[in-house]
Structure 1
Amino acid sequence: MDPDDDLGLFGPGSVTWKVHEEPILFLAGLRALYLQALHPRAMAGVAQNSDFKADAWGRLMRTTTYVATTIYGTTAEAEAAGRRLRRMHARMTARDPFTAEEFRVDEPDLLRWVHVTEVESFVTTAQRAGVPLTGAEVDGYFAEQRRAAALAGLDPQSVPGSAAEVAEYYRRIRPELRLTREAAETALFLTAPPVPRKISLPLRVGLSLGPTRLLYFGLAGTAFGLLPQWARRRYGGLGLPTTDLSAELGVRALRLALNAVPRRFIEGEIYQAAQARATRLAPTG
């Protein structure tokens, strides 16, 4: 197939494209990081294999590019990105913070945790920001994202494929989660990192917010507030309904503000190329 005739793993009729066309999803990435840090082995794997604090924004943008490629790139581009990710993970090991056991960071249980927290954060943030999604569409999103899980090296059938399966997965894994020292330090860093003079919004790069630490602090607070109540309690916070309400009001207001920005300022190159292919290949008449 000619690469210019390929719409990638999902395509314009997918729930995935509907969800990820929303600029507000940059906040979902931050929510996912707060959540992922609560898994002791997953946190140890990151802390022992990367100096993410020294290059936080570079790491964020590399992750953003990977996600955009899997969502909007051609099939060949997505598969190549997946191979690079698997090769990188295959070289990494870490030590359990409690047992000192050495483990591979590409263990299926760890990859599954990262995948589920990421995709659940994407669709939950979209819903709470006011993106209209039916229950069937949410289930369809999780089912579609099994293709992204396969790129990371997971058996797609081992990954939750519906909202009910995701809820059951969280119920089973919650006893394993805790606030380690590394998780606490990471959460603090995520909340108040060194802020560059300009911050580019992830996933669809292009909009600069300017040098405002206060603005970032507000964004981080909203992302944290979007966590499930049980996750906020792990961090020592209160799982109050008022926190949920304020976070939801904040994310809805932010979505309205972002949607008022002309799209040409917030559409990244990968997204634009995908839309151009989709427009060219759309049936006429």
Structure 2
Amino acid sequence: MTNQPTAEETADVFGPNSMLHRLVNEARWGLAVTRATVLEAAHPQIGAALISNSTFVTHPWRRLRNTVMSTQRLLDPDRHVRSREAARLNRLHARISGTDPQGRGYDAMDAEARAWVVATLFESAVTMYRLSGESLDGPAVERLYTEFRTLLTLIEGDSDQLPATSQDFWHYYDDMIDHRLESTEAVRVILYRLFANVPAPPLLRGHPAVWAAGRAVAGPVAAAVTIASLPESFCRRVALPDLPGARALMHGAYLTAGLATRLLPDGWMHTSSFMSLLDPHHGDGAGPWADLRRKAGQAAAMLRLITPAPEEANQATRSADRFFTEVLDQTGDGYLAWPDLAAMAREVATRLDLEERDEERLYSAYAAWWGELRADLDADGDGRVTRREYAASAACLPSSGLVRIAEVLFDVTDVDDDQMIDVQEYQALFRTAFHRDLTGRGDSYSRGAFVRQFLSFMSGQQHSVAYTSLLS
């Protein structure tokens, strides 16, 4: 029997006083989400879907922005906004299915897997509070659990896959860890590749030396803290190491985050404040972290003066390789395949919050282009295009499918249907991963001019800051 939440519970979950609403707006929630993501990735269905379809390794900051935006929509007080976002997520997940390397099928609409995502977020939230020095009492845990189950009902239609009470939840949780989770490739990628190779956030994108130096220290620390926070039974099951000193480091990180949340002025540890810290163009340039951003920029400028610029040998080949890596290979597996083009369509659809009809047109256009790419560039017929195959034919990239994509992109961006894309419409499409608006040239684009610009960029012939911000 479906356990639907009462009207009072639903109103509380989506109101400003709900525990979940407060939780997701705290910056320390990132600790819980990172931990939960590892547990999610150990589920064979989720792990296979992440490896084959997700851009979380190559474009983590874009994924962060989209996740924050989606969560805000799901918790919006307006029922229409919540329902629209739930429907969009379901359409997105309905397009993700396939077969893992062991020949087992996976489907992003699998009810058990979707419930496990919510379960890991709830358990990681409880763990975050405990490690931060704020253990929740029984009624608070039950209330938070009810809110998470209500969120699952919004997405899934019911919450039957999760136990009815928080007391019963822990038996379910232990059983999932002991009998359902695996040491998947996705777990290893998150812990040992994502942390070690995460690209620079917008603030430091122009200062690679600063980011490389910081990442060399922060990457291993983040991995150690995350592993030490995971359940011991899970670590044994997936053979994660118990590093010396990692537990003390983890406790220190969580306690520091908890103290900062409680003691620093309101707004300093808000999610939006940290997003503003990551991107100097987010907001109005003020806020509690503005001075820190300026000092980071000064330090980066100093390091750039003493760091030699890399040599640009073989410009033509380097340009094709770079375009392939930064734009076309969305999943970062070294190949161009349908999941890469689907990721582009997904990003545009998310950016513009498209209705189902327009979203379907966009995906169909990308599918048509993929058919052309396979026919023209896939020399060995293995269903994917290598960097070498692309570089050899980059100058004559198939164009009719690209024209179709550009036409659809123009239609969905031209919201007032006046056959011109004005400055506001241009900005809505080309804002970066952290809401920054690109002002463009200050004029309008006709359909022909827009199509030509898109084709020049997607064929690798012309660089575009706007399209690079959208797709890389």
TM-score (normalised: structure 1): 0.76
For 1:244-255, what aligned pairs fall within 5 Å after superposition? 244=247, 246-255=249-258
Aligned partners of 2:30 and 2:84: how far apart in 1? Answer: 23
* Structure 2 counterpart SS, 1:131: coil
Q: Which residue of the partner structure matches residue 36 of structure 1? A: 40
Q: Secondary structure at the match of 1:264?
A: coil
- The 3-state SS of whatever aligns with 2:156 is coil
2:52 maps to 1:26: no
Counterpart code for 1:163: S
Taking the TM superposition and a 5 Å limit, the aligned residue runs for 1:179-194 are 179-194=183-198
Counterpart code for 1:121 = S
Matched, 1:223 2:221: no
The answer to whether 1:58 aligns with 2:62 is yes
Distance (Å, rounded) in 2 between the aligned partners of 1:237 and 1:246: 17
Matched, 1:137 2:136: no
Alpha-carbon separation, structure 2, partners of 1:86 and 1:151 = 11
What amino acid sits opposite 1:86 in the alignment? N
Residues 64-83 of structure 1: matches in 2 within 5 Å? 64-83=68-87
Greater shift, 104-113 or 212-221, is seen at 212-221
Spell out, residue by residue over 1:78-113, the C-alpha distance to the aligned partner (whole angstroms, 9 max, x if none). Answer: 222111101111122121442x14342101011111
Change (3 A) 1:70 1:105: same
SS where residue 81 of structure 1 aligns? helix
Would the alpha carbon gap of residues 266 and 189 (structure 1) be closer, same or farther in structure 2, given more than 3 Å must change? same
Number of residue-to-residue matches in the alignment: 255
Alignment-mate amino acid for residue 114 of structure 1: V
Query: For 2:76 and 2:245, how far apart are their aligned partners in 1?
Result: 36
Q: 1:242 offset after TM fit, Å?
A: 7.3
Unaligned runs of 5+ in 2: 1-9, 205-209, 273-472
CA contact (8 A) 1:9 1:75 kept: no
Select the residue among 128, 150, 169 that pairs with 2:153: 150
The change in CA–CA distance for 1:192 and 1:88 in structure 2 (over 3 A counts) is: same
Aligned-residue identity in percent: 24
Residue 20 of structure 2 is matched in structure 1 by 16
Distance 1:249 1:53, change over 3 A: closer
Alpha-carbon deviation of 1:116?
0.9
* Residue type of the alignment partner of 1:59: R
CA distance change for structure 1 residues 9 and 47 in 2, over 3 Å: closer, same or farther?
Answer: same
Query: Cα distance 1:216–1:11, how it changes in 2: closer, same or farther (>3 A)?
Result: farther
How far apart in 2 are the matches of 1:93 and 1:40? 13
Q: Cα deviation per residue 1:103-128 (whole Å; 9 max; x = unaligned)?
A: 42101011111121122212321222
Amino acid at match of 2:20: T
Match of 1:175? 179
Q: Provide closer, same or farther for how the CA distance between residues 47 and 256 of structure 1 changes in structure 2, counting only shifts above 3 A.
A: same
| CA distance, structure 2, for counterparts of residue 169 and residue 199 of structure 1 | 42
Q: CA deviation at 1:132?
A: 4.7
1:187 counterpart letter in structure 2: L
Indicate if the aligned counterparts of 2:73 and 2:81 stay in contact, CA closer than 8 A. Answer: yes
- Are residue 105 (structure 1) and residue 108 (structure 2) matched? yes
Determine helix, strand or coil for the equivalent of 1:94: strand
Partners of 1:237 and 1:53 in 2: how far apart?
20
Matched residue of 1:192: which SS? helix
Aligned-pair CA distance for 1:229: 0.8
In the TM superposition, residue 192 of structure 1 has moved relative to its aligned partner by: 1.7
**Mapped pair 1:118 → 2:121:** yes
Task: After superposition, give the CA deviation of every residue in 1:168-196 in whole Å (9 maximum; x if it has no partner).
Answer: 11222221212133432333123323241
Q: Amino acid of the residue matched to residue 57 of structure 2? A: K
Measure how far apart 1:18 and its partner are.
4.7
Residue type at the aligned position of 2:58: A
Q: 1:11 offset after TM fit, Å?
A: 2.0
Residues 241/268 of structure 1: CA separation in 2 closer, same or farther (3 Å cut): closer
CA shift for structure 1 position 241: 11
Q: 1:223 to 1:101 in 2, by over 3 A?
A: closer
Which SS does the other structure have where 1:69 is aligned? Answer: helix
Q: Distance in 1 between matches of 2:189 and 2:25?
A: 32
3-state SS in 1 of match to 2:85: helix
Q: 1:30 to 1:77 in 2, by over 3 A?
A: same
- State the distance in 2 between where 1:241 and 1:75 align: 49
Letter of the structure 1 residue corresponding to residue 46 of structure 2: A
Q: CA deviation at 1:258?
A: 4.7
Paired with 2:12 and 2:109, the residues of 1 have a C-alpha distance of 25
Contact 1:31/1:227 (8 A) holds in 2? yes
Rg comparison, structure with higher value: 2
Contact 1:28/1:223 (CA < 8 Å) preserved in 2?
no
Kindly indicate whether the alpha-carbon contact (under 8 Å) linking 1:123 and 1:138 is maintained by their aligned counterparts in 2.
yes
